[in-house]
Amino acid sequence: MEKLFSYFLVALGVILMFGASIFVHELGHYWMARRRGMKVEAFAIGLGPKIFGRVRDGVEWSVRWIPAGGFVRLPQMITSEALEGGSGDGKALPPAPPASKILVAVAGPLMNLVFAFLVATVIYFVGLPVLVNPSVIGKVDPESPEGKMGIREGDRIVEFEGRPVKTWQQINERVVLARTNVFTAVIERDGERKTYQLSAKTNPNIGLKWLNLDPFDHPIVGAVETGRPADLAGLKPGDRFLYFDDVPVISQEHLRDLVARSEGKESVVVVDRNGQQISARVTPIYDPEVKRGRIGIVFAGGVYEVMRPGPTPWMQFYTVVDRTVSTIAAVIHSRETGVKARDFSGPLGILASMAVEAKTDYRRALNFLVLLNVSLAILNLLPIPVLDGGHILMAILEQLRGKPLSLRFVEYTTTAFALLLISFMLYVTFFDMRRLPLFWALFQRGSQVETVIQPGAAVTNMPPSAPAPAP
């Protein structure tokens, strides 16, 4: 009963945070439309059929079934019946000037940024739990290109591509999203720093790039399920994962992703057992219960340390903007990066990720809320019809032409892109559903949040906590 109540609280928190993000966005549109004297017909949280609705002061307020956004129906703006449904009484209204349309369109993303800044300020004062995974280099083969450069075990990567880094997650993310295979890294040893040119290689089974360096910390096997591939391969509790198909394993989430991508393919794993490296061959098999490939192990849980004060709001904004822009660029250049549109998350994936963070610690959930709102603002400003950026683009064209755009052109263009948007959401939701077992495993994992650290302090190696489900 206690666990069910805990799940209920997490679910309630996720719904409130996601709903708040949509609400403040639409509230920005609503408030500016009222300020500019425009007619407002409806204010909706969600899309599709109504769960419930109420008409007040001529505005229909409603909550709808599809948690993929929301809308404020403004008959004097470009709208799409595919998303918002039909308009109201059909009475002719004077057209809104382009300046009003632009202000109304900008107000939604602006409110998301204001909301994100307020949440980021709270995080600064209450602190932020940071996953213990320092960017310390593990064993280095003296005959490898990196070993011949002089890189040694225990060295720490402190800058990568001109930016400071503290964790392997930061390094891995930049390698995956980059359009190059050569990277500049500053490595520190005993207080001295040297600059190196590091090369990344692409794994043919996975399609993504990884540095040819071994992290010092690795996920540890907490338990092995009898009769599963890991058991048949001879893996044992206490084994520390080093490599999966020549890819250095940097975290539990990383290993889960590698296993899922290699379903049905024989893979070579290398583990550290009492200081000795042991190789084994495993073939991840499809598990109908969790609907994904697994090898049958249970991880020791993750450890977080609290940074207090947390990162400044400006640093949080910079991190999110950099990640969002880099991800969009990586998808555009997918041939070079291997990152595809299916790697995006739709509403389902966003809710699941937020639930994982909320289960870990409320401050992690707040940090995700900053990510969500800043990303929502950026994506909505893309110059695509049906998004806020499309409204702005149409209003600018109208201003340049000196007269409104053709109503038929506006309707056809907006509806076409609305259908494309719906199709894209269904596409990414399909892959979100395939990743649900992974999200569930992350949700159930054990983790501990402890020890307050100051920004910039070294993150030390910590012992594992209670076991949690894994690949």
Domains belonging to the chain, first-starting first, are: 1-129+309-453 (no CATH), 134-216 (2.30.42.10)
Q: Does the structure show a pLDDT above 90 at 200?
A: no
Q: Does the structure show a pLDDT above 80 at 45?
A: yes
User: pLDDT confidence of 445, banded at 50, 70, 90?
Assistant: low
Q: Does the structure show a pLDDT above 50 at 465?
A: no
Contacts of 243 (CB under 8 A, 6+ apart): 214, 249, 268, 269, 270
Q: Does the structure show a pLDDT above 50 at 463?
A: no
Q: Which amino acid is at 184?
A: T
Return the top range by mean pLDDT from 40-44, 83-87, 219-223: 40-44
Give the residue-averaged pLDDT of 19-42.
90
Question: Which phi and psi (to 5°) does residue 230 adopt?
Answer: -65, -40
Least confident residue range of 74-78, 197-201, 402-406, 436-440: 436-440
When the pLDDT of each residue in the chain is averaged and rounded to a whole number, the result is 80
Least confident residue range of 215-224, 400-409, 451-460: 451-460
How many Cβ atoms from other residues are within 10 Å of residue 25's Cβ? 27
Q: Does the structure show a pLDDT above 60 at 52?
A: yes
Q: Determine contact, residues 248/215, Cβ cutoff 8 Å.
A: yes
Contacts of 59 (CB under 8 A, 6+ apart): 40, 41, 42, 43
Q: Does the structure show a pLDDT above 70 at 449?
A: no
Q: Is 47 exposed, middle or buried (0-12, 13-18, 19+ CB in 10 A)?
A: buried
Q: Is the pTM of this model over 0.75?
A: no
User: pLDDT confidence of 366, banded at 50, 70, 90?
Assistant: very high
pLDDT at 447: 55
CA distances from 258 to 179, 248, 278, 283, 305 (A): 21, 10, 19, 12, 26
Q: Does the structure show a pLDDT above 60 at 457?
A: no
Return the top range by mean pLDDT from 168-177, 192-201, 214-223, 342-351: 192-201
Q: Determine contact, residues 135/322, Cβ cutoff 8 Å.
A: no
pLDDT at 422: 82
pLDDT at 459: 38
Percent of the chain with pLDDT over 70: 82
The C-alpha atoms of residue 294 and residue 285 are separated, in whole angstroms, by 6
Q: Does the structure show a pLDDT above 50 at 82?
A: no
Give the residue-averaged pLDDT of 338-363.
79
pLDDT at 462: 32
